[in-house]
Chain A
Amino acid sequence: GAGVSQSPRYKVAKRGQDVALRCDPISGHVSLFWYQQALGQGPEFLTYFQNEAQLDKSGLPSDRFFAERPEGSVSTLKIQRTQQEDSAVYLCASSFRRNNGYTFGSGTRLTVV
């Protein structure tokens, strides 16, 4: 597609519920990144894929967070047993080459109640 697409745009989850956030990167983009952005803060790195390989997951805040990109295109970020502190905007970004800037999706705003 023309841009990075994320769905859903908004998600309200009850505490303890599992959620899955989807990211469709730009076609042909090799690198895919997930960021978490709290209100009024900059994006915080979560994890990074190159094709289907997850090269870095050091930013995932707990083992309740899991990301996959099984065929090297679409990626899913899953959060199990959501907590209120998980409320944030989750941004996905992709790039064509290692030395390119990122193109961001519009994000998924997750609210845990």
Chain B
Amino acid sequence: GQNIDQPTEMTATEGAIVQINCTYQTSGFNGLFWYQQHAGEAPTFLSYNVLDGLEEKGRFSSFLSRSKGYSYLLLKELQMKDSASYLCAVRDSRDDKIIFGKGTRLHILP
């Protein structure tokens, strides 16, 4: 089976940097996704890591360590519009299903 853990809530200040951690245990691993979800809206794709290391995309970066079962999403120069839930999701190599964590609600203070 799979287990994905991420903090329930985090708070950060506009203009600052925040790191959202995700740990996972899985029988078979074939990639890790981060999605952003604003309240009442669909999740939108942010990043995909399948190899170890850091992937940078503008203000957002995602890191993966397969040996540690660990990933983080780094958000820089925070803006009020970044207030949302951030979902960590792992693809199972046995059946290609993507399993989601419960999400981290990020609150941005002015």
Contacts and interface: CB of A to CB of B under 8 A. Distances in A.
Interface of A: 4, 31, 33, 35, 40-45, 48, 55-56, 91, 98-99, 101-107
A42 B87 contact: yes
Nearest to B96: A98
Contacts, number: 47
Contact of B48 (A33, A55, A91, A101): A101
B103 A91 contact: no
A44 B43 CA distance: 13
B100 interface: yes
A45 B101 CA distance: 11
A42 B101 contact: yes
Given A41-B102, A42-B102, A101 B33 contact: yes
- Count class of interface residues, chain B: 20 to 34
A104 B100 CA distance: 13
B44 A104 contact: yes
B87 A103 contact: no
A45 B99 contact: yes
A98 B31 CA distance: 12
Interface in B49-77: none
- Residue of A42, A45, A98, A102 with most chain B CB atoms under a 10 A cut-off: A42
A29 B45 CA distance: 16
B16 interface: no
Given A41-B102, A98-B96, 10 more contacts: A33-B98, A35-B100, A42-B89, A91-B42, A91-B43, A99-B31, A99-B96, A101-B45, A101-B48, A103-B45
